[in-house]
Amino acid sequence: MSNKFRFKESGLNVRSFGKEKWHLVSSDKKDPSVKMPSTQPILHGFYNMMKNKEYTDFTIVVEDKRFEVHRMFLALRSPYFAAMFTTPMKESIEKEAIEKDVEKDVFELLLEYIYTDNVQKIDDHAAKLIVCAEKYEMNDLAELCGKSLLKTLNVINAARYLGCVDLVRKDVLKQKIIAFIGDNLKLVIESEGWSEISGNFDLMTTVLRQLLDEKKPKVIPHNGRQCDFGHVSVHGIDWSIPYGVMTGSRLDISSPEFRVELNGRMTTWKLHCQLYYQNGLIGNNRNQLIRITLKYTGLLLPPPCVCKWSAYQNSTKKVEGKSVLMSWTTGKWDHILENGIRTKTVLQVESSRKPSPFIVSVELQTPTTEEEPSEHVLATFLKTKRHLDAKIVVEGETFEAHKVVLSEQSAVFADKLETNLPEYHLDDISPAVFKELLCLMYMTREAPEADSVLHQILPAAKKYKLRDQLIRKCESNLIEKLQIFNAASLLAHAHEVEAKRLESAAIKLIVENLSLVLSSEEWKSLKQHPSLVVKIIRTIYQL
């Protein structure tokens, strides 16, 4: 015997055969061969049944709201719910589930889509709804939300959209949003949503990687424009020119601009490479020469500097230059004026037809002088161990020094040494770090011997209240140690100890060698400081 029920507002009848067997039959007496133009009336009929709690057989609790639903519909549209209803779980037995990590308003929209295959106000809620769709494994809804996000994307919501999309596995959609952010970065950074995502290290790294790919310079070998073939360091540049570029008919290219701190000033430089023929004999390979010119691109005259260089295409014929003192003003470095830019031919070597890149390395440094006798005297006192009158014991190791030097260089030691003791014990510093502090206080000009203590010296110098000049020297020593492999960790360290010069130098080095730094293990040392990644992004875009 069958029971017949009428669905309110739906125009449908349901015949029940047994407990769980349901069949839909039309109450219309029209010709059954006439097809309905759309399934929407049927779907909306079921949706109205759900809202009116008719024939519902399961309850889902979200926040403080209870949703009475039909298992059949939810299982049909969502693998998540299908698994819940078909496995012997507490929810399937009690026919009630509590859903967390979703807002009740968003879940209501999800149910609207499950029942009607549509969400009327999707543009207002797509960012949150796509996360909900991902959780309940509804790819068709996620795709619909993605289209809505791209349609409504603007500088105000871009960062917020990116934060939501980052929670789901939609890489193509994420790339499109990041590309939009890259094109409008200055405005997006000022939006409220940016502060919400800027603390996410992994997401900021993803943004940085994509911006790097999109900003990668093009290789234009023959028109004198910049070519990016090298790695920039704090002292200079290693420039590798591919063989395919070297074989061009008129080689005329410039390196990336690099910055070097000389005598406390940041100076900017470029290398320029030209291919020419000796005595004008074009086509004679033996007369083919490569001329490398160093160009200073700053506005003011640079200070004197020492230039070291090497160049080769065939490693067996490597040409190296000794430390040569160059000066724009003393006449020791003759230069020519070309288009208003001072230039100097650093070297010229024969070109080889061997299919290998041409390597040029240039390093610039401030020349050392003999004009600081006080530093040399103090260093001599320490090395000769004359007139020592203070014993400092650190973890059982004894260091001998001069009270007058320690008191003059450190406010903390000035207080400690007021008491006349046979020896002074320090329990808050390691022997290796204290040794480096002694070198600083005696101005020995020695850089830290072990990389393992690099991150400990500057905090110790500040803790023992060394003179500002010595703290700056300590920071300069760390800048000298900057390399691609340690730039990220030293950047994090600079941020922690508020070393602005070191932070600035590290960021510049990272920006100029971004691809290598991003792929290094050291990059993860910035995980606790995502704001530094934002600074790097700002630097790239000169914001």
Q: What are 211-228's pLDDT values in tens digits?
A: 777 654 333 333 333 344
CA distance 149 to 157: 9
Q: End of a domain among 330, 365, 400?
A: 365
For the beta carbon of residue 121, count every other beta carbon within 10 angstroms: 10
Tokens in use for 232?
């920039």
CA distance 132 to 171: 17
CATH label of the domain that carries residue 490 = 3.30.710.10
140 pLDDT more than 90? yes
Domain presence at residue 489: yes
Q: Vertex 533, ends 528 and 536: CA angle to 5°?
A: 150
Judgement on whether residues 297 and 430 belong to the same structural domain of the protein: no
CA distance 271 to 255: 5
95 pLDDT more than 70? yes
Q: Annotate 93-136 with DSSP letters as a single string.
A: HHTEEEE-SS-HHHHHHHHHHHHHS--TTHHHHHHHHHHHHHHT
With beta carbons less than 8 A apart as the criterion, state whether 42 and 56 touch: no
Which pLDDT score, from 0 to 100, does residue 219 have? 33
Q: End of a domain among 343, 365, 387?
A: 365
CA distance 227 to 149: 37
CA distance 457 to 519: 27
Q: Report the percentage of the chain scoring pLDDT > 90.
A: 28
Residue 448 banded pLDDT, cuts 50, 70, 90: low
Number of domains in the chain: 2
Choose among 314, 311, 316: nearest CA to 363: 311
Choose among 415, 458, 412: nearest CA to 437: 458
What mean pLDDT value characterizes the chain? 75
Q: End of a domain among 365, 390, 419?
A: 365
Domain presence at residue 330: yes
384 pLDDT more than 70? yes
Domain presence at residue 273: yes
CA distance 311 to 289: 13
> Whole-prediction pTM value?
0.59
277 pLDDT more than 80? no
Choose among 428, 289, 438: nearest CA to 352: 289
CA distance 264 to 353: 42
CATH label of the domain that carries residue 255 = 2.60.40
Judgement on whether residues 386 and 510 belong to the same structural domain of the protein: yes
CA dihedral 291, 297, 299, 305 (to 10 degrees): -70
Domain that holds residue 496: 373-540
Q: Report the percentage of the chain scoring pLDDT > 70.
A: 67
CA distances from 358 to 149, 217, 317 (A): 48, 19, 12
Which pLDDT score, from 0 to 100, does residue 483 have? 80
136 pLDDT more than 70? yes
Q: What are 193-217's pLDDT values in tens digits?
A: 898 899 999 999 998 888 777 654 3
Judgement on whether residues 345 and 395 belong to the same structural domain of the protein: no
Determine the average pLDDT of the residues in 111-137: 92
Q: Which DSSP helix (H) or strand (E) runs through 58?
A: strand 58-62
Lowest mean pLDDT segment, chosen from 286-290, 427-431, 506-510: 286-290
Domain presence at residue 168: no
In the sheet that holds 58-62, the strands lie side by side as 65-69, 58-62, 96-99
Q: What are 20-62's pLDDT values in tens digits?
A: 444 444 344 444 444 444 566 777 778 888 888 888 899 999 9
Q: Roughly what angle, to the nearest 10 degrees, separates helices 487-497 and 500-512?
A: 150
